[in-house]
Amino acid sequence: MLALTFLFKKIAQHRELLDYEPELLDTATSNTMAGAYVVLGFVLVLAMSTVADLENGVSEEATTIKSLERLFVLDGSGPALNSREHLLKYTKSILVDEWPLLPLGHGSIKSSAELNELYASLEKINPKDDKAEIIFSKILDQSARVGELRNKRNFSIESTLPQVFYVVSLLSVLAVVVICAMRLMKGSVIRVVVLSIQVIMLTLIFSAILIIDLPHLGDTRTSAEPILKAYDSMSARKL
């Protein structure tokens, strides 16, 4: 912004192309600043909503895995406990094999194989009475839910804001910078400080959008802690 201000001053000194009209520039500055805040605020809300859905999905996935493990224990039969071991292996694979690959935009083949092994093991469970039938029915439902939530999580990796939002946001920030630079061609120290702070705030909001829209990268990435806690709890269970 300061570089543009210096450039505009140089142009104005040699050519009468930039007639300075304070009232017009003040109005333009106010309008573009308000418009930029509205656009960036809207985009930021969308990005935060996406991240919130992703984090809720991870928590739900962990809860479903833990619920399925309880059903295997409640069944108590040899095949059910064998399926429980496959569930533990699958959960561990999510943490060890799959989660590190999410920033690359895809899941783990090994995790998919462990999930298929879990599904295959369910065929060996043979309910002996009505109670076992009810438990087995719930096991099938929860098993299907585990796979569904994993697919939803992996699909959400590619769920980023449309490119048009970034284009509009960037153009809004650039428009504010250009108009503020024009306003600073004749400005006091206080005006320079105030407009600079406002531009910095807009830049910070835009940066926050970029960070939030990449939920599996950086220090602010979505954590696998709910699944880790579920795995630790299941592993600690003594049968």
Write out the two tokens for 203.
């830049």
pLDDT of residue 92: 95
Task: Please list the rounded mean pLDDT of every run of 10 residues in the chain (239 residues).
Answer: 69 58 70 76 76 85 95 92 95 93 85 95 90 93 94 75 71 78 72 78 78 62 86 88
Alpha helices, DSSP H, located in 123-184: 130-155, 163-183
Write out the two tokens for 211.
């960070």
pLDDT of residue 60: 93
SS (H, E, C) 25-94: HHHHHHHHHHHHHHHHHHHHHHHHHHHHHHHHHHHHHHHHHHHHHHHHHHHCCHHHHHHHHHHHHHHHHH
Instruction: Identify the burial level of 155 via C-beta atoms within 10 angstroms of its C-beta, where 0-12 means exposed, 13-18 middle and 19 or more buried.
Output: exposed
Q: Which of 99, 41, 94 is nearest to 221 (CA)?
A: 99
Place of tokens 């579920």: 230
pLDDT of residue 61: 94
Calpha distance 55→49 (Å, rounded): 10
| Amino acid in position 88 | L
pLDDT of residue 205: 79
Calpha distance 229→231 (Å, rounded): 5
Q: Which of 138, 162, 166, 150 is nearest to 70 (CA)?
A: 138
**Residue 221 DSSP code:** P
pTM here is: 0.71
| Amino acid in position 75 | D
Contact status, residue 208 vs residue 44, Cβ threshold 8 Å: yes
Calpha distance 221→214 (Å, rounded): 7
Q: Number of C-alpha atoms within 13 angstroms, CB side, residue 152?
A: 16
78-93 and 130-155 helices, crossing angle to 10°: 10
pLDDT of residue 172: 76
Write out the two tokens for 220.
């602010």
pLDDT of residue 21: 64
Q: Which residues, other chains included, contact 158 with Cβ-Cβ below 8 Å and sequence gap of 6+?
A: 105
